[in-house]
């Protein structure tokens, strides 16, 4: 197996790690099959990986219940506690499965590298990369974050993917988002898969189910942002984990790719959502 060099950023979508329609239900088998595939890739190639997971029917369940969003505000104290607790719970379930499958996960909560007022600490992000180089898989996740004073906000794992890509841009070879769909569709009626997405307008996303952090629209926006750093971005179906292996081996697969476009600033501008 010949893996592409450099670091892989992988987003484990909430729709893969949990059953989104059933509150607080963990998809143990889904995480297990992805872990097995990652174990195969890591053993064969030693590729460093950082994993980011979403909230699914854990964090999103409570953020909807308590009307909490990505905009900093004085949300319900109980809601803040419940979202945070549920994300810690989901994280510990995910890393337990990974550990059982022979991977070596190492959780670094987003509050370890994102401080007050969304300030990202570069040296703390680099710590994730350092950890990833030495046989461990740093695992981080979307969360409810303290903004300042009594203000809190929901931080999406998709946004964390962009933050990591930006701060580790010289290291990242590929960013991969796992979804419960085959990739990004032109529209939800035809479900025609976009093999290569170049502009936000390639996909009509109005009909795609939204969650508090913006659903598919957010993913495409962060994907375009990451691609503008010169990093290839893939959206693949996490229910077919072999597609994750294909991407990590540098092969083509069923999914949507946004090719990295470093140096094409003007096109990057057009690519904004
Ligand atoms: O599922 C949001 O992360 P996402 C996490 O990546 C919470 O949007 C706390 C709702």
Per residue in 102-151, pLDDT tens? 999 999 999 999 999 999 999 999 999 999 999 999 999 999 999 999 99
> Is residue 157 lining ligand 1, measured as CB closer than 6 Å?
yes
pLDDT of residue 201 exceeding 90, the answer is no
pTM of the model: 0.93
Sign of CA dihedral 162, 164, 166, 172: negative
The ligand 1 atom at the shortest distance from the C-alpha of residue 56 is 1
Calculate mean pLDDT across residues 239-247: 98
Q: Report the pLDDT value the prediction gives residue 269, as an integer from 0 to 100.
A: 40
Spatial separation of the C-alpha atoms in residues 269 and 261, rounded to whole Å: 11
> Is residue 243 lining ligand 1, measured as CB closer than 6 Å?
no
What are the structure tokens assigned to 140, written together? Answer: 């981080």
Spatial separation of the C-alpha atoms in residues 104 and 188, rounded to whole Å: 38
Residues in CB range of 269: below 8 A, 6 or more apart: none
* Cα of 142 from ligand 1 centre, angstroms: 4
Q: Report the pLDDT value the prediction gives residue 1, as an integer from 0 to 100.
A: 41
What are the φ and ψ backbone dihedral angles of 110, each rounded to 5 degrees?
Answer: -60, -25
pLDDT of residue 163 exceeding 90, the answer is yes
Q: Report the pLDDT value the prediction gives residue 234, as an integer from 0 to 100.
A: 98
The ligand 1 atom at the shortest distance from the C-alpha of residue 143 is 9
The ligand 1 atom at the shortest distance from the C-alpha of residue 63 is 10
Q: For 79-97, what is each residue's pLDDT tens digit?
A: 999 999 999 999 999 999 9
Spatial separation of the C-alpha atoms in residues 84 and 88, rounded to whole Å: 6
> Is residue 63 lining ligand 1, measured as CB closer than 6 Å?
yes
11 near 158, Cβ under 8 Å? yes
Report H helices in the chain.
14-17, 28-45, 56-65, 77-100, 122-132, 157-167, 215-227, 242-248, 265-270
* Cα of 94 from ligand 1 centre, angstroms: 15
Q: How many helices and strands, by DSSP H and E, does the chain display?
A: 9, 9
Q: Report the pLDDT value the prediction gives residue 189, as an integer from 0 to 100.
A: 84
- Ordered DSSP codes for 15-49: HHHB-TTSTT-B-HHHHHHHHHHHHHHHHHH---E
The DSSP output letter for 203 is: S
Q: Report the pLDDT value the prediction gives residue 187, as an integer from 0 to 100.
A: 87
Q: Report the pLDDT value the prediction gives residue 97, as an integer from 0 to 100.
A: 98
2-6, 18-22, 178-182: range with lowest mean pLDDT: 2-6
CA atoms in the 13 A half-sphere facing the CB of 25: 9
Q: Report the pLDDT value the prediction gives residue 257, as an integer from 0 to 100.
A: 98
Q: Report the pLDDT value the prediction gives residue 182, as an integer from 0 to 100.
A: 96
129-138, 148-157, 200-209, 261-270: range with lowest mean pLDDT: 261-270
> Is residue 54 lining ligand 1, measured as CB closer than 6 Å?
yes
* Cα of 60 from ligand 1 centre, angstroms: 6
């Amino acid at each position: 197996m010949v893996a592409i060099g450099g670091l892989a950023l992988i987003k484990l979508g909430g729709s893969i790690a949990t059953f989104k329609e059933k509150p607080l239900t963990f998809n143990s088998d889904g995480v297990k099959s992805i872990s097995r595939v990652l174990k195969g890739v890591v053993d064969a190639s030693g590729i460093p990986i950082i994993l980011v997971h979403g909230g699914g029917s854990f964090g999103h369940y409570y953020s909807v219940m308590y009307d909490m969003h990505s905009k900093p505000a004085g949300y319900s104290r109980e809601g803040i506690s419940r979202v945070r607790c549920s994300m810690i719970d989901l994280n510990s379930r995910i890393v337990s499965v990974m550990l059982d499958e022979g991977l070596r996960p190492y959780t670094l909560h987003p509050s370890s590298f994102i401080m007050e007022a969304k300030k990202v600490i570069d040296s703390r992000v680099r710590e994730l990369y350092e950890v990833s180089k030495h046989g461990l898989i740093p695992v981080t996740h979307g969360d409810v974050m303290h903004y300042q004073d009594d203000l809190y906000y929901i931080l999406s794992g998709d946004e964390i993917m962009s933050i990591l890509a930006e701060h580790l841009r010289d290291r990242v070879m590929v960013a991969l988002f796992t979804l419960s769909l085959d990739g990004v569709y032109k529209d939800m009626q035809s479900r025609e898969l976009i093999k290569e997405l170049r502009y936000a307008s390639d996909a009509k996303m109005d009909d795609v189910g939204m969650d508090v952090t913006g659903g598919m629209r957010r993913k495409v926006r962060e994907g375009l942002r990451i691609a503008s750093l010169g990093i290839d971005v893939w959206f693949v179906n996490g229910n077919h984990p072999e597609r994750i292996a294909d991407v990590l081996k540098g092969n083509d697969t069923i999914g949507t790719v946004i090719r990295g476009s470093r140096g094409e600033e003007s096109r990057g501008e057009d690519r904004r959502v």
